[in-house]
Amino acid sequence: MKKQLVKSVFLLLACISLAEEPKLLSLKPVTGMIRADLYSVETVSNPKAVIVLSPGCNGNGAGLVGDPQWQVFAKHQQMGLVGLSFASEINNLQNGTGYYYVTNGSGRLLLDGIRKLFGHDLPLVLYGFSGGAQFASRFVEWEPKRIITWCAYSAGWWDEPRSSIVTPPGIIACGEKDERLGASLIYFKQGRAKGRPWLWISIPNNGHSPDGRVESFVRDYFAEILKAGTNVKSNRSGIWLDIDTKVEVERIFAEKYPSVTAWLPNAELLGRWQSLYKPQQ
């Protein structure tokens, strides 16, 4: 136990020493926005994709990309790292004209910013919390071909998923004590009813706040998706789970009962998911 603690502290200190200060790219806000900034750190010279981290409502993405654990992960995966710092007036966020709604121009701003930062278009991996989950989930619906994988954690309201041939795998998560739990679970079930290869996680003893346990699992999930490559897109790999009993089920069961089942890229993550996840009573 003592050796493991020393090892954990050593790894944390190593990560902190590797952390780089985020750089700011300011873009011109579109109608319905009052800020359009992106923060990035130089992780690798020639990234194969970009991880976009989206904080809560009108939040500043510098803190997320400044996290040494996300920086180390991006470097290990040969990916760029960008933090979203978009903002809108609250009434615009609520009436469908703010940056949450990517088809109004905020989605194009992100793509333009990625091009400016890296010199060309790149595939994306998205992670969003709260307001960031609003942005991430709608971006996936808008440009699914650009997305490798994604996670939306605890949005207050969601748009119903559309039917689509392109269905990048993703995670829908919410704290068990968060008032957004019901809306998040309904969104997950709507997506599964349309055949989306999604995973559901409700986090025990968590309200509406980011949780390191979730981010750690999400990074491991992203890593497995990236490792699986094209097999994930063809749905020829992975395992199916019963979200009530937390056990693996046959694919035929998942096809028959999509709203009570979920997908994982492989069995290596099963124990982690079972330990993290608490089914609703």
Q: Find the domain containing 217 and state its range.
A: 2-231
- Where residue 236 falls among pLDDT bands split at 50, 70, 90? low
Q: Is the residue at 261 inside a domain?
A: no
> How far, CA to CA in Å, does 160 sit from each of 56, 99, 175?
20, 18, 21
Helix H or strand E encompassing 182: helix 181-193
Checking if the pLDDT of 36 tops 80, the result is yes
What is the rounded average pLDDT for all residues in the chain? 91
- Where residue 18 falls among pLDDT bands split at 50, 70, 90? low
Q: Is the residue at 9 inside a domain?
A: yes
Structure tokens, 186: 């309904």
Checking if the pLDDT of 270 tops 70, the result is yes
Structure tokens, 125: 């991996």
Summarize the confidence of residues 179-199 as an average pLDDT: 96
Query: What is the structure's pLDDT at 117?
Result: 97
Checking if the pLDDT of 10 tops 70, the result is no
By percentage, how much of the chain surpasses pLDDT 90? 83
CA-nearest of 139, 136, 144 to 53 is: 136
Q: Is the residue at 40 inside a domain?
A: yes
Q: State pLDDT tens for residues 77-88.
A: 999 999 999 999
Q: How far apart are CA 140 and CA 159, in angstroms?
A: 11
Q: Is the residue at 156 inside a domain?
A: yes
Q: State pLDDT tens for residues 96-129.
A: 999 999 999 999 999 999 999 999 999 999 999 9
When divided into structural domains, the chain yields a total of 1
Query: What is the structure's pLDDT at 218?
Result: 97
- Where residue 16 falls among pLDDT bands split at 50, 70, 90? very low
Q: State pLDDT tens for residues 140-174.
A: 999 999 999 999 999 999 999 998 888 999 999 99
**Helix-helix angle 68-76:212-228, to 10 degrees:** 10
Q: Is the residue at 243 inside a domain?
A: no
Q: With contact defined as beta carbons under 8 Å apart, do 80 and 51 qualify?
A: yes
Q: State pLDDT tens for residues 195-224.
A: 999 999 999 988 898 889 999 999 999 999
Query: What is the structure's pLDDT at 233?
Result: 52
Query: What is the structure's pLDDT at 278?
Result: 86
Strand positions, DSSP E, the chain: 23-26, 35-41, 50-54, 80-87, 124-129, 147-153, 170-175, 198-203, 239-242, 248-249, 261-264
Query: What is the structure's pLDDT at 232?
Result: 57
Query: What is the structure's pLDDT at 20?
Result: 78
Q: Is the residue at 270 inside a domain?
A: no
CA-nearest of 244, 233, 237 to 269 is: 237
Q: Is the residue at 122 inside a domain?
A: yes
Q: Is the residue at 249 inside a domain?
A: no
CA-nearest of 146, 134, 129 to 101 is: 134
This prediction's pTM: 0.91
Residues 6+ apart with CB under 8 A from 75: 18, 43, 44
Q: Provide the CATH number for the domain around residue 76.
A: 3.40.50.1820
